[in-house]
Structure 1
Amino acid sequence: MMIGLGFRREMLDWDMSAVQADFFEVAPENWIYRDLAPLHALIESGRPVHLHGVALNLGGTAALDQSFLRDLRKLINALGRPLYSDHLAASGDSHQLYDLFAVPFTAPQARRVADRICAVQDALGMRIAIENTTWYTNIGTMPEADFLGMVLERADCQLLLDLNNLSVNHKNHGGLSPSEFVQRLGMGRVSYMHVAGHEFDPRFDLFMDTHSQPVEAHTQQLATRLAERHGTPVLLEWDNDVPGIDVINEELSCLRTSMTT
């Protein structure tokens, strides 16, 4: 089974040959104008590098940034046309807000966002994947799984299934459990899965998608079941308070071991 890791700036000085990951993922916004040698080194070691963006603003209303899309297409081609994904969320219309905001779960919004995804796919000349996101408030009326399914079908795109986000949303808002959500949505369009950890913030009385903790047992178990059943790769995200290589390898080993026992 393929086990991946989000490659972060804290890892630039690591001996990546010692990292027990089969593939990696980077934010393209961090690499468009940088030396790609570290990424090419990973690819040459036989481990693909996928692109997972944060700035496409699929859920926004402003015109898509055509200059960014041209730069992104060049990067995709330079890396051998790997998988590319971004979030099903808004990230700022007038300015890049460096945060992600939920799209209302309604049929008109699903059609609108799907049309934006189609425009992106036309500009890039490839199908992309969208990630289900965490949300802390939403004014929509559709169940999230139905909204997401409608977007996927209309845009004919793939899904980057984030199991940690499903867990955070379930803890904060109730509704379908992560396993029920996946059962309702299906796995037919899933490119790969994300797992991560999160924390409770008493200031907001909410669980926050911090990517700063080990993966919870139930999330790991769900990832294992889905990976074994569908052959879907799993990637570990750890974005804040990034630990050393030993802890990262331990997390990767836990995922790999649970999938082979």
Structure 2
Amino acid sequence: MNKNIQGVGLGLRRDMLNELYNHDALNIDFWEVAPENWSKLGGYYAKQLKQLTSKYAFTTHGLSLSIGSPAPIDVVFVQEVKQFLDTHDIALYSEHLSYCSGQGHLYDLMPIPFTEEAIRYVVQRIKQVQDILERPLILENVSYYAAPGQELSEQQFIISILEEADCQLLLDVNNIYVNAINHQYDAESFLTAMPTERIAYGHIAGHYDEADDLIVDTHGADVIEPVWKLLEKAYQIHGVFPTLLERDFNIPPLDILMLEVDKIRQLQSRYSNKKLIA
């Protein structure tokens, strides 16, 4: 399989392709794509993607798995994801610890109830997906705005699923910050509780302040200083892990995006040889 990701990554968008090919020495270690946005494409886009996956390390971050859905796992879809990963020699497939379908597609990421019953349900679905993929599933801690039927903390819920399903974590630092504000918990305590050995890689992104006590995770703005500080704390606690900058809209030119990419790299360099906080 493709070499393991390391260093600093950036989410690849189709409208970046022309600009990307005008940069011969772009200082990015790996790229991330949503497989369902690329797997059906042929012609120019398929050729361009294959050239990139042959040159760079890649990971994938899906949108449609719906691991917590009441509907059965879409086995055909998961098989298509596996074919995409195999075609492009990509080892890693990440998704959201949420659901986005029921009777139909909901076009949003909905929170799974933080209950013991939901843990048992999601764990068996994760194992089914991992058996098809022949890879560990990497699940992201998501932003959420309501917690229906909550019996456990978000922290307890995530850790239990990771351990019982023996899967990996995509540590989204911005989502921790967003949830800490919206649900009034301590971001550093949550961050510290995450299992270091389960972290496959991380995300950092910008968000939108709807009100003093309500933040919306948008991936459409620059990363703010408190989130940079939380990423720095993550490296202190867990060691340096591969980290990707997400930007889904209001996307500036690559030269501007690279300023934030370089800031991640600077933080990684600062903590690459430091001892972890006990």
Q: 1:205 offset after TM fit, Å?
A: 6.3
Residue 170 (structure 1) aligned with residue 180 (structure 2): yes
TM-score by length of 1: 0.93
CA distance in 2, matches of 1:201, 1:151: 31
Q: Secondary structure at the match of 2:9?
A: strand
Q: Secondary structure at the match of 1:160?
A: strand
Map of 1:224 onto structure 2: 232
CA distance in 1, matches of 2:81, 2:88: 11
* 1:196-207 aligned within 5 A: 196-202=205-211, 206-207=214-215
Q: Is the 8 A contact 1:161 1:192 kept in 2?
A: yes
Q: 1:159 offset after TM fit, Å?
A: 0.5
2:8 aligned residue (3, 12, 17):
3
Q: 1:91 offset after TM fit, Å?
A: 0.5
1:67 aligned residue (70, 73, 76):
76
Amino acid of the structure 2 residue aligned with 1:117: I
Q: 1:126 offset after TM fit, Å?
A: 1.5
Map of 2:19 onto structure 1: 14
2:49 aligned residue (39, 54, 63):
39
Q: Render the CA deviation track for 1:181-237: whole Å, top value 9, x for unaligned.
A: 1211221100000000001125x9621000011112232233234346523111000
Q: What is the CA RMSD across the aligned residues, in angstroms? A: 1.8
Amino acid of the structure 2 residue aligned with 1:172: N
CA distance in 1, matches of 2:9, 2:193: 26
Map of 2:262 onto structure 1: 253
CA distance in 1, matches of 2:48, 2:169: 27
CA distance in 2, matches of 1:29, 1:146: 30
Q: Secondary structure at the match of 1:161?
A: strand
Residue 125 (structure 1) aligned with residue 128 (structure 2): no
Q: Which runs of 4+ in 1 moved over 3 A?
A: 16-19, 224-229
CA distance in 1, matches of 2:224, 2:110: 24
Q: 1:82 offset after TM fit, Å?
A: 2.1
Q: Is the 8 A contact 2:62 2:96 kept in 1?
A: yes
Q: Is the 8 A contact 2:54 2:88 kept in 1?
A: no
Structure 1 alignment gaps of length 5 or more: none
CA distance in 1, matches of 2:89, 2:104: 31
Structure 2 alignment gaps of length 5 or more: 1-5, 271-278
* Residues paired across the two proteins, number: 258
Map of 2:249 onto structure 1: 240
Q: Is the 8 A contact 2:91 2:135 kept in 1?
A: no
Aligned CA distance change for structure 1 residues 185 and 227 (closer, same or farther; 3 Å)? closer
Q: Is the 8 A contact 1:19 1:245 kept in 2?
A: no
Over the matched positions of the two proteins, sequence identity in percent amounts to 35
Map of 2:274 onto structure 1: none
